[in-house]
Amino acid sequence: MTQRYVVVDLETTGNSVKKGDRIIQFAAVVVENNQIVDAYSTFINPEQPLSPFIEELTGIQSSQLVDAPRFSEVAPKIAEVLQDGCFVAHNVLFDLTFLQDEFLHNGFEPFYCSTIDTVELAKIIRPQATSFKLSHLAEEEGLAHDRPHQADSDAEVTAQLFINFCEELRKLPLVTLKQLYRLSYSLKSEISELLALILKERMSVSPIHYPHLQIHKGIAIRKPETVSKTSYDGEASYPQSAEEKIALLNQAFPHFELRNDQLKMMDAAYHIFNDEKIAIIEAGTGLGKTLGYLVPAAFCALEHHEPIIVSTYTIELQNQLIHKELANLHKMLPFELKTAVLKGRPNYISLAQFDRALRTKDDNYETALIKMQILVWLLETETGDKDELNMTAGGELFWERLQSVKSTSNEHERSWQNFDFYERAKENAKDADLIVTNHAFLMSDFFSNNGKGMSNSLLIIDEAHQLENAALKHLGSSIDYVSLKMMINKLGFYDQKQLLYKLLNMVGNLGGNISNREADNLLHDAIYEIEQFFQLLSKACEDFQKNMHNKNAVALHTILKSHGNSQPLTHLAERLHKQLQTLSSYLLENAAYVTEHGQPGKTQLFHLSEIESIAEFFKSRAGNFLEYFLRNKDSFLYWVEWHKNSPGQYVYLYSQPISGGQELWHRFFAQQNSVILTSSTLTVKGSFEYIKNKLGLHHHDIETYSFPSPFRYKEKVKLLVASDIAEVNKVSQAQYVKQIAEYIEQSALACKGRMLVLFTSQEMLRDVHESLRELSSLEDFNLLSQGISSNSKTRLIKYFQNFDKSILLGTSSFWDGLDLPGETLQCLMIVRLPFSPPNEPLTEARCDQIRAEGRNPFTEYALPEAIMRFRQGFGRLIRTNDDKGIFIVCDRRIVTTQYGKDFLLSIPDVAVNEVNLHDVQNSIKQWLK
């Protein structure tokens, strides 16, 4: 490669040119012919002091820069180095902007050249990288990076990365390179010029053979590896003695720390499967719960010749189990264990959809980038699972166009049938010894197959306290204005020449009796009915909100009663039901006519598939309207939610059973041979009765086990209760938010971030976030807030782990399933005891149901639920034997009410101290020192 590349890195006094920040160090490494040929670096006197933060970050002290040259003195040399080169940097816009500004500021002409951003390049070449930070990429590439945040070191590492990436590009299949080159013109840096050079090189040499790849319709894809089911001829029996188990665990953990209760849990799980029982096992944090069930599960799979299914609540936890725990399990076992992963269909890419998207030329930056990432990823992935990809938010949105859909008779889809990753995952699972899935997929599989899903399997339900939630979500449904309008817009009127136009033309070309006006009228009528219904529903919600102090979720029957006369809304729902049914039938009949009377081509088949999908959507929603307003199911809750500030379009209707226990027993547990339900928090006041009742197991013979945490919590946790925060209902929202923000400020300063704050309300979180942003004392802190910084829990956790001095604010999903060991998390704050809002529709319905049975809804539902969530929250703090932390509760009810004692008794015995705002910082420092 004869092109000259100048790889640049700068250190600066801050991040903003506009605020007067200046360069303190410049470094450049010159690359020619894929080799480093020259380097230059210099400190620069910025003529302003460095902040303590910059000195700590870079290791450069203000005193080192006193005698350094000013930028004007080194500008000619820098210009000489940059001359005739392509400007390469990691986040190129930052370095380029600073340099250009310094040249102009010092009276020099700006320079002009092509640029390459190695962040952009890394996203394409390493689409599965966990992070695109320079330090993480260097670690993954095995590059020494001893002085991060010093320009000479960073420039050299960036140059090495660039060289590696260029080598990787050269090795790509020609078809992939050509696709990348076409898409690269939509990128922000001139990667297209680099690809053009590499393409020219490749065209002049002999073709490369790729035995592990296959090319289909111009897309190169990795061939799947075939792994046979376990066939073990030797003697491998379950390790009965403690010594045998310890020897097994030592295979993966040479410095294994003996936990007797973990060994007892293994024995319990092994006997539960052999005796075909249903059992609940509570395993305290730090016990080694996952291996506590995986080891006996592996031996049972071998002995019984039956697959073991392990299900956990979220895909994040599923991924953690796959990449961490199963890797350790494989090291221990004296036999091969075939494992498979099953997730919901939308998690897998549809190559038919991707092929279609590739042929679309209307790319913006985000779509071009994700297409390029996927083209490279397809050379590596065997699963087609989107969780392998590190996508931008725009990429996540684009994925919705690519996710796998149910197979159709569509010829275009059929041509990709042998490359269906979802079907491949299901086939792999048929031969697997151990299948890892999640609760949502498990519930969908069982309920959709009338209890026959994944039959003849032994089941382990991890995070079992969340199983009912997953079941309720699957058994429920929803309707919203935006989705209905989106589907209508996809069809379009005849003169808009979208899907409806295409359907009518296909029918007309085959001699079918078709009327453009009739079709347009059907669409007009549907739009009219949708608008009429949602306008009236929105008006009812607005009126209700005004009268009920900004409440934005309520049972549907309450809205209908509050509106005075429910008849108009019910009548509109009935009309909309009929209109959607008519439109659905019309689309399906005409699509069937084309299939029966013609031979549609690839593009036509793709359009027919989309039309059939839209028709099924309308048919489903038509049934929902009938159910919600005219044919309510027994023991179901129907409710409505809306955005407080703009109820108009943003109104959502939902339904689900009020409780899931009965459905879970009859359609799930009663169909199983053996099930283990486990979690770290399954008891309330030492009893399993609440969880048994919740899961429909209270009238059945269920074995229960409880193994405590091995951690010495008194030495590891100090619990502080804020003594001077007023009760939320005794002060204004603004005053309460101010008090919480002050406690977060003092706590964060004491432990230098590394702090998780748990809320029960997204509204409260937003207000506290805004208050914290105003505090100058936290300027150097990384404030991460759920629903503000990102909606992705995975991305927020990654940022929290990657950046020092981070404060993470989270709501519901952060209360459990979060593993942040070591110094990543040292301070956990709970703003309010985690009671569900009493006027939230599902809580209200459950309390009414319990009350109607003559029982106490507070003691039998609200309090046990809050205690279980409180225990889950507490469990986030100490994850390993070396951890130490502070647990702060800002809700004084924990010490002022009778039921507050139940919360304190639900967690391990730790010292409880009341502290005021003035003393909280010192208390934390004293404990953590």
pLDDT in tens, 810-856: 998 888 867 777 678 999 999 999 999 888 999 999 999 999 999 99
Binding-site residues, in ranges, read 283-290
Strands (E), 643-690: 651-657, 674-679
Which band of pLDDT confidence, cut at 50, 70 and 90, is reported for residue 98?
very high
Confidence of residue 455 (pLDDT cuts 50, 70, 90): low
Quote the tokens at residue 273.
């499967």
Contacts (Cβ under 8 Å, ≥6 apart) of 282: 678, 679, 680, 681, 682, 683, 688, 704, 705, 706, 707
Share of the chain above pLDDT 90, in %: 63
Residue 818 dihedral angles phi and psi, to the nearest 5°: -115, 120
List Cα–Cα distances, 147 to 60, 138, 139, 156, 227, in angstroms: 11, 12, 13, 11, 44
Q: Is residue 738 classed as helix, strand or coil in its secondary structure?
A: helix
**b/e per residue 841-855 (b: at least 16 CB within 10 A):** bbbbbbbebbeeeee
Q: What is the model's pLDDT at position 235?
A: 67
Of 61-70, 93-102, 377-386, 408-417, give the lowest mean pLDDT range.
408-417
pLDDT score for 450:
58
**Mean per-residue pLDDT over the chain, rounded:** 90
Average pLDDT over residues 180-204: 94
Rounded to an integer, the average pLDDT of 922-928 is 94
pLDDT at 871 over 80: yes
| Residue ranges matching CATH 3.30.420.10 in the chain | 5-208
Ordered alpha helix ranges (H), 7-150: 52-58, 62-65, 71-82, 92-105, 118-125, 134-141
Please report the pLDDT score of residue 379 as a whole number. 96
User: What is the secondary structure of 3-30 as a DSSP string?
Assistant: --EEEEEEEESSS-TTTT--EEEEEEEE
pTM: 0.84
For the cut 70, the answer to whether the pLDDT of residue 214 exceeds it is: yes
In the predicted model, is pLDDT for residue 891 greater than 80?
Answer: yes
Q: What's the chain's Rg over C-alpha atoms? A: 31
Beta bridge partners, 29, equal 7, 39
Tens of pLDDT, residue by residue over 699-757, are 899 999 999 999 999 999 999 999 999 988 889 999 999 999 999 999 999 998 899 99
Tell me the C-alpha to C-alpha distance, in Å, between residue 73 and each of 85, 91, 108, 872, 881.
21, 26, 11, 60, 55
Strand order across the 636-642 sheet? 477-480, 651-657, 636-642, 553-555
CATH 3.40.50.300 domain span(s) along the chain: 260-338+432-475+660-710, 713-928
pLDDT above 70 as % of the chain? 95
3-state secondary structure at position 504 = helix
Distance of alpha carbon 496 from alpha carbon 491, whole angstroms = 9
CA distances from 247 to 237, 270, 328 (A): 14, 18, 14
Q: How confident is the model at residue 398 (pLDDT cuts 50, 70, 90)?
A: confident
Q: What is the mean pLDDT of residues 107-113?
A: 89
Instruction: Check if CATH label 3.90.550.40 holds for domain 713-928.
Output: no
Q: Give the mean pLDDT of 414-443.
A: 88
Q: What is the pLDDT of residues 512-537, one digit of tens each?
A: 888 899 999 999 999 999 999 999 99
User: Binding site membership for ATP: which residues?
Assistant: 283-290
Segment 312-354, tens digit of pLDDT: 988 778 888 888 889 999 999 999 999 999 998 889 999 988 9
* Three-point CA angle 487, 493, 497, nearest 5°: 100
pLDDT of residue 648: 58
pLDDT on residue 333 = 92
Residue 540: the pLDDT is 87
Lowest mean pLDDT among 55-59, 569-573, 668-672, 890-894: 55-59
pLDDT bin (cut points 50, 70, 90) of residue 789 is: confident
* Continuous segment of H or E residues that includes residue 756: strand 755-758
- In this predicted structure, the answer to whether residue 1 has a pLDDT above a threshold of 50 is no
Tell me the pLDDT tens digit for each residue of 458-495: 899 999 999 999 999 999 999 999 899 999 998 999 99
* Confidence check: pLDDT of 226 > 70: no
Domain 5-208: CATH superfamily, name plus number: Ribonuclease H-like superfamily/Ribonuclease H (3.30.420.10)
User: Cα(first)–Cα(last) distance of the chain, in Å?
Assistant: 55
CA 128 to chain CA centroid, nearest Å: 15
pLDDT digits (tens, 9 = 90+) for 75-96: 999 999 999 999 999 999 999 9
Q: What is the pLDDT of residues 580-608, one digit of tens each?
A: 999 999 999 999 999 999 888 877 887 88
Query: Tell me: the pLDDT tens digits for 815-826?
Result: 886 777 767 899
The token pair at 585 is: 């039938």
Q: Using CA atoms, how far apart are residues 199 and 192, in angstroms rounded to an integer?
A: 10
Superfamily of domain 260-338+432-475+660-710, CATH level 4 = P-loop containing nucleotide triphosphate hydrolases (3.40.50.300)
- In this predicted structure, what is the pLDDT of residue 407? 57
d(CA 764, CA 823): 27
* pLDDT tens-digit readout, 22-59: 999 999 999 999 999 999 999 999 988 888 778 878 88
Of 841, 778, 844, 789, which is closest to residue 811 (Cα–Cα)?
Answer: 789
Query: Which CA distances in Å does 752 have to 746, 748, 879?
Result: 10, 5, 19
